């Protein structure tokens, strides 16, 4: 047993040095060559700077609403609800979201509500909604902001992000970018 203690201590010290100093330093060095020096992708409007790839809470009726978050849009506690479709509490929560959506969008039928508007993403921080998720909100926003629906349809179509390399994932819209563009056309 004594023959194994010294090698074990050496291996522990080596791994401690490698995993707590060398590896983090290497990752930090590579990040310095990334856009924004590894601090994340940001976008600024007239007043604030936001992280583009972290979902934001938009609940005011004059904005496109975000996908619900199971973690309150808090990146420090990222995670899904981990509840399945057979969980009664989850079904009740989704029904509450549906009811809330229909109250805020009375011209929309229940069958027209895209699933992403009433269910949280796996991380709880998805910054995107489906194209249909944006389009079902257009009537509400046009009415509140006094804009033509056709103008908002063009705005939404201009914000569509295509699948990566034309095949990975669905078309989607970053809600933050869409709402910043919405404010820009409303302030003209």
Contact in structure between 46 and 179 (CB atoms under 8 Å)? no
Measured CA to CA, the distance from residue 64 to residue 68 in angstroms comes to: 12
Residue 21, pLDDT > 80, answer yes
Q: Which helix (H) or strand (E) holds 51?
A: strand 49-51
- Look at residue 188 in the predicted model and tell me its pLDDT: 55
Higher per-residue pLDDT: 111 or 85: 111
pLDDT category at 163 given cuts 50, 70, 90 is: confident
The stretch 62-68 carries a mean pLDDT of: 92
More confident of the two residues 70 and 62: 62
- Coil, strand or helix at 44: strand
Give the chain's largest Cα–Cα span.
81
Q: How confident is the model at residue 169 (pLDDT cuts 50, 70, 90)?
A: confident
pLDDT-based confidence at residue 37 (cuts at 50, 70, 90): confident
What is the model's pLDDT at position 71? 84
100 alpha carbon, distance to own chain's centre: 20
């Amino acid at each position: 047993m004594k023959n194994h203690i010294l090698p074990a201590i050496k291996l522990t010290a080596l791994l401690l040095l490698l995993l707590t100093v060398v590896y983090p330093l290497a990752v930090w060095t590579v990040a310095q060559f990334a856009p924004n020096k590894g601090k994340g992708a940001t976008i600024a409007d007239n007043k604030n700077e936001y992280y583009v790839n972290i979902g934001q809470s938009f609940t005011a009726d004059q904005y496109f609403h975000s996908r619900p978050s199971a973690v309150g849009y808090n990146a420090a506690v990222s995670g899904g609800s981990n509840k399945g479709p057979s969980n009664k509490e989850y079904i009740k929560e989704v029904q509450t979201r549906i009811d809330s959506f229909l109250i805020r969008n009375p011209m929309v039928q229940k069958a027209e509500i895209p699933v992403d508007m009433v269910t949280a993403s796996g991380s709880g921080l998805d910054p995107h909604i489906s194209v249909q998720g944006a389009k079902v909100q257009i009537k509400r926003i046009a009415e509140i902001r006094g804009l033509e629906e056709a103008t908002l349809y063009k705005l939404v179509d201009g914000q569509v992000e295509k699948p990566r390399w034309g095949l990975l994932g669905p078309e989607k819209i970053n809600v933050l970018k869409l709402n910043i563009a919405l404010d820009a056309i409303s302030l003209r």
